Amino acid sequence: MTGTEPILRAEGVEKSFHRGVPPRRRRIEVLKGAGLEVRRGELVGLVGENGSGKSTLMKIVVGLLERDAGAVERDGKLGYCPQTPLLWEKLTVDEHFELFARAYELEGDAAASASGSLLGELRFDRYRGYRIEELSGGTRQKLNLALALMHSPDLLLLDEPYSGFDWETYLRFWEMSERRRGEGMGILIVSHFLSERERLDRIYELRDGRCEEA
Amino acid sequence: MSAITLSGADFLREHLRARLTLVLLVAIPALFVVASASVLGEFATALGGSVAGDSASALGAGWAAAFLAGALGFFQVSSSREADRRLALAGMGAARVAVARICASVALGVLISAVAFLTLLLSAGASHPAHTFVAILIFALTYIGIGTLVGSFISGALEGSLTVAFIFLIDAFSGPGMSDSSSIAQVMPTRVAADVLIDAGAGIGSPIGDWIAVGLIAFGALALAAAAFWFSARPRST
């Protein structure tokens, strides 16, 4: 079900950061014209070494970080799973689903059905009344992923979404991703590894601030 | 209820579920009002001020509310910045996240002020209860603005809480009744609220000009807090 029109297109993205205080203040160029495309029904990988700028590019594409130059075009509903779970420590799993259901403008039954289905699919429904501070790292990561998926986005952006998953959950994650790709969702996954190459339709490697299709 | 009100209730719940917050909510007013009222008078004498007795107790309640509100305002921004930004991106938008945060902050301010007021009422009484409560609330709202402003520039918990405490100490020890009208006191944000609170503690009403001034200061502090929450929830450049 791969479409021809890109659901995400980034071109010539540039980003640099200023670090330190004078006289040691330095400008660090991270992205120097990076670009990529994701189409509907496509599972695309973005790989690169530590510090290559993968998360920076992802944050720019998502809209969390402003770019210095370049263009980003997105189409449809966006789902974003950050590298580190961004959650509220004292709220429960169910309260997180409710908070995000309001942000996604999901009504009562649709919200309950979406959260119930994801809790079952990722097998953490017994934790729905637990506060985040009471959860293991892996369960937090499951919630982090579930919150990105609960409104059935057209484009899913995942920044190393399986860190902390056990092997069984890791395999389930790929099953979920492949099923959603089959339903027409465009998915971009940031990873350190090229070991998942056979699961991906295309791979971009970020090197020297630019993306090259591997 | 609207999405903003419900989200504000979630943010409020998050703070009230912290056991230490609940302990401090009771302990700090008790320390400032009950234990420190006489010490506050001695400090004031040493610094050239004249506050004492019931006015010192009333001022202690205001400072307790300010201290707690400043710390909670700071942590509202600094501890949830990234999660709030994610929620805004998910469709809530930075403006609605900021309004929900302001709702939670005002509710926290009212709660903090009520506890400080109740502590004062039980320990020393209040000649002008309505004036006293409103003045304590102004202290709390003013420091919510200061705490959130600090939180929007400083993310480290230690650095941020020390900065809030530093502003608090300068404000407290240079304020009316505590020193001999130093020039710095004239620009501190709680100066008029302290005047109102000292008068209420002594059983004296305050002039209408003072009430207008504290109303404007509280409004300004909340506007500042709303801007700080909005700034924290929107995309960043670094």
Going from the C-alpha of A12 to that of each of A61, A132, B43, B101, B232, the distances in angstroms are: 12, 39, 63, 37, 27
**Whole-model pTM?**
0.87
Enumerate chain A positions whose Cβ falls within 8 A of a Cβ in B: 17-18, 62-66, 78, 80, 82, 84, 86-91, 95, 98-100, 102-105, 131, 147
SS3 B232: helix
Distance from CA of A101 to the nearest CA of B (A): 9
Please write the tens of the pLDDT for every residue from B133-153. Answer: 999 999 999 999 999 999 998
Residue A113 above 90 pLDDT?
Answer: yes
Beta strands in chain A (DSSP E): 6-19, 26-39, 43-47, 69-74, 78-81, 155-159, 186-191, 202-207, 210-213
The ipTM value here is 0.89
Residue B201 above 80 pLDDT?
Answer: no
Give every CB contact of residue B209 below 8 A, 6+ residues apart in sequence: none
Residue type, A107: E
- CA dist A88 and B14 (Å) reads 7
Q: Are A201 and A44 in contact (CB under 8 A)?
A: yes
Show residues of chain B in contact with A102, CB under 8 Å.
3, 6-7, 92
Residue B3 above 90 pLDDT?
Answer: no
Interface residue of B89, B96, B232 to substitute, partner A, most A CBs within 10 Å: B89
Q: Does the beta-carbon distance from A86 to B83 stay under 8 Å?
A: yes
How much is the pLDDT for B97?
Answer: 95
Q: Does the beta-carbon distance from A64 to B87 stay under 8 Å?
A: no
How much is the pLDDT for A107?
Answer: 87
Q: Are A10 and A46 in contact (CB under 8 A)?
A: no
How much is the pLDDT for B1?
Answer: 63
- CA dist B127 and B200 (Å) reads 7
Query: What would the mean pLDDT of B82-100 be, rounded to a whole number?
Result: 94
Percent of chain B with pLDDT over 90: 50
Q: Does the beta-carbon distance from B87 to A91 stay under 8 Å?
A: no
More reliable by pLDDT, A184 or B184? A184
Confidence bin at B56 (pLDDT 50/70/90): confident
Here the tokens at position B185 are: 């006191």
- CA dist B85 and A97 (Å) reads 16
Burial class (CB in 10 A: 0-12, 13-18, 19+), B55: buried
Residue type, A60: I
Task: Give the distance from CA B7 to its chain's centroid.
Answer: 22
Percent of chain B with pLDDT over 70: 87
How much is the pLDDT for B94?
Answer: 94
- CA dist A73 and B125 (Å) reads 64
Distance from CA of B237 to the nearest CA of A (A): 5
Please write the tens of the pLDDT for every residue from B10-30. Answer: 999 999 999 998 999 899 988
**Which residue from A65, A90, A103 is facing B92, i.e. has the nearest CB?**
A103
Give the number of residues written for chain B.
238
Confidence bin at A160 (pLDDT 50/70/90): confident
More reliable by pLDDT, B191 or A68? A68
How much is the pLDDT for B38?
Answer: 66
Closest residue in A to B18 (Cα) is A90
Q: Does the beta-carbon distance from B87 to A95 stay under 8 Å?
A: no
Residue B238 above 70 pLDDT?
Answer: no
Could you tell me if residue B165 is left (phi over 0), alpha (psi between -120 and 50 degrees) or otherwise beta?
Answer: alpha
Confidence bin at A193 (pLDDT 50/70/90): low
**Which residue from B7, B14, B237 is facing A102, i.e. has the nearest CB?**
B7
Could you tell me if residue B120 is left (phi over 0), alpha (psi between -120 and 50 degrees) or otherwise beta?
Answer: alpha
Q: Does the beta-carbon distance from B87 to A103 stay under 8 Å?
A: yes
Closest residue in A to B6 (Cα) is A99
Residue B120 above 80 pLDDT?
Answer: yes
A65-79, B39-53, B177-191: the lowest-pLDDT one: B39-53
A82-96, B37-51, B184-198, B200-214: the lowest-pLDDT one: B37-51
Instruction: Kindly report the backbone phi and psi dihedral angles of residue A91, in degrees, each rounded to the nearest multiple of 5, phi listed first.
Output: -95, 155
Residue A2 above 60 pLDDT?
Answer: no
Give every CB contact of residue A65 below 8 A, 6+ residues apart in sequence: A15, A56, A59, B235, B236, B237
Q: Does the beta-carbon distance from B90 to A65 stay under 8 Å?
A: no
Confidence bin at B44 (pLDDT 50/70/90): low
How much is the pLDDT for B53?
Answer: 66
Confidence bin at A199 (pLDDT 50/70/90): confident
Distance from CA of B166 to the nearest CA of A (A): 24
Query: What would the mean pLDDT of A95-121 be, rounded to a whole number?
Result: 94
Show residues of chain A in contact with B83, CB under 8 Å.
86-88
Distance from CA of B170 to the nearest CA of A (A): 28
Query: What would the mean pLDDT of B119-146 be, rounded to a whole number?
Result: 90
Q: Does the beta-carbon distance from A99 to B15 stay under 8 Å?
A: no
Query: What would the mean pLDDT of A95-100 be, rounded to a whole number?
Result: 96
More reliable by pLDDT, A19 or A131? A131
DSSP for B66-96 reads: HHHHHHHHHHHHHTTHHHHHHHIIIII-HHH
User: A-B interface: how many C-beta pairs under 8 angstroms?
Assistant: 66
How much is the pLDDT for A128?
Answer: 95
Show residues of chain A in contact with B92, CB under 8 Å.
102-103
Q: Are B83 and A147 in contact (CB under 8 A)?
A: no
Could you tell me if residue A21 is left (phi over 0), alpha (psi between -120 and 50 degrees) or otherwise beta?
Answer: beta
Strand partners, B236: A65
Closest residue in B to A149 (Cα) is B90
Closest residue in B to A105 (Cα) is B91
Give every CB contact of residue B214 below 8 A, 6+ residues apart in sequence: B134, B135, B138, B192, B193, B196
Please write the tens of the pLDDT for every residue from A122-149. Answer: 999 999 999 999 999 999 999 999 999 9
Show residues of chain A in contact with B3, CB under 8 Å.
102-103
Closest residue in B to A68 (Cα) is B237
